[in-house]
Amino acid sequence: MGDIETPENNRSRQTVIHSLLPSKEFVSSRKGILLLGEVVMSFISFVCFAASTAAAFVTAPLIEFLAALFLLFAYSTKFNERFKGFYWPLMDFLRCVSASIIFFIISIISVSKYVDGASKAAGLFGFITTIFFALDFYFIFNELANFLKGGDPSEEPPNTQDDDSDSDSD
pLDDT in tens, 110-120: 999 999 999 99
**Is the per-residue pLDDT at 160 higher than 50?**
no
Question: Does the predicted model carry a pTM greater than 0.85?
Answer: no
Q: Which residue has the higher pLDDT, 3 or 106?
A: 106
Whether the pLDDT of residue 29 is over 50: the answer is yes
Model confidence pLDDT, tens digit, residues 95-104 = 999 999 999 9
Q: Can you list the alpha helix ranges (DSSP code H) found in 21-166?
A: 24-27, 30-51, 59-76, 88-113, 117-149
The Cα angle at residue 31 between residues 135 and 137, in degrees rounded to 5: 30
Q: Best-predicted range by mean pLDDT among 15-29, 32-46, 80-94, 148-162?
A: 32-46
Burial (CB < 10 A; 0-12, 13-18, 19+), residue 24, is exposed
Mean pLDDT is lowest, of 1-15, 62-76, 81-95, for: 1-15
